[in-house]
A = this chain, B = another copy of it.
Amino acid sequence: MIVDAVLELARDEPQSRFTFKSLGEALDVNPTAMYRHFRNRDAILRAALDRLFSMALEEATASDAPLDWRPRLERYLHTLIEVFIKYPSIGCDAFATDTFGQGELHCIEFVLGCLRDAGLSGDRLVHYYGALESYTLGHGSGIAQEVLAKPSSDGHEPWLQAVAVASVSGFPLIEEHRDRLLRLDGLNVFSAGLSAILDSAEREGTR
């Protein structure tokens, strides 16, 4: 299948976006032959991204023990963002792309189920669904973009290189928290925001 080759390519060449040319070489075929199977590059992207959703959900739910809603949700969202980072040239479009596929639908259903188990319903359930999904997709695609652009980055690069380089005199708060700010990276910052959203959801659900 072509999608397999795209995924393999995205994983093995994390620095460069996948290309018809590279795809042709990987499959030992003429680059333009892809147009027999997909309408354009975007269609390939959507198919591959939907597979990433499926992979993340499968990996996160293939658990030994049944989990409570919150660790279940945390595990899935962390797995999802890790998958995006692992396949940067696909993950980088995770926010802006609707896959229209089964993988994404299964993921939506899964998140809704977790939030239902948290005690939420109706508008508030969908409210938190939107918050969690958009946060994870926005953050994941952003880190994937970084990995794609910057040499040898893996989501654990310092997040605020500007603070390290630039003169921060005249910015007393930045100066005061300089070391702490430099300790931030893409993934622990993600955990920070995720905890905050889940805290709010949990409070509202158990009320």
Shortest Cβ gap from A140 to chain B (Å) = 8
A95 at the interface (CB under 8 A from B): yes
* Contact among B99, B129, B162 for A99, CB-based, below 8 A: B162
* Contact among B125, B133, B134, B142 for A177, CB-based, below 8 A: B125
A2 at the interface (CB under 8 A from B): no
CA distance A168 to B145 in the complex (A): 31
Are A189 and B141 touching (Cβ within 8 A)? no
A66 at the interface (CB under 8 A from B): no
Q: How many residues of A contact B (CB 8 A)?
A: 66
Copies of the polypeptide in the assembly: 2
30 contacts between A and B (CB under 8 A): A93-B145, A95-B145, A96-B146, A98-B161, A100-B165, A105-B163, A108-B171, A108-B174, A109-B173, A112-B177, A116-B173, A125-B177, A126-B177, A126-B183, A128-B196, A129-B177, A130-B159, A130-B184, A130-B189, A130-B192, A131-B193, A132-B193, A133-B189, A134-B142, A134-B159, A134-B193, A135-B139, A138-B142, A141-B142, A196-B201
* Partner-B contacts on A (CB < 8 A): 93, 95-96, 98-101, 104-106, 108-109, 112-113, 116, 122-123, 125-135, 137-139, 141-143, 145-146, 149, 159-163, 165-166, 168, 171-174, 177, 180-181, 183-184, 186, 188-190, 192-193, 195-197, 199-201
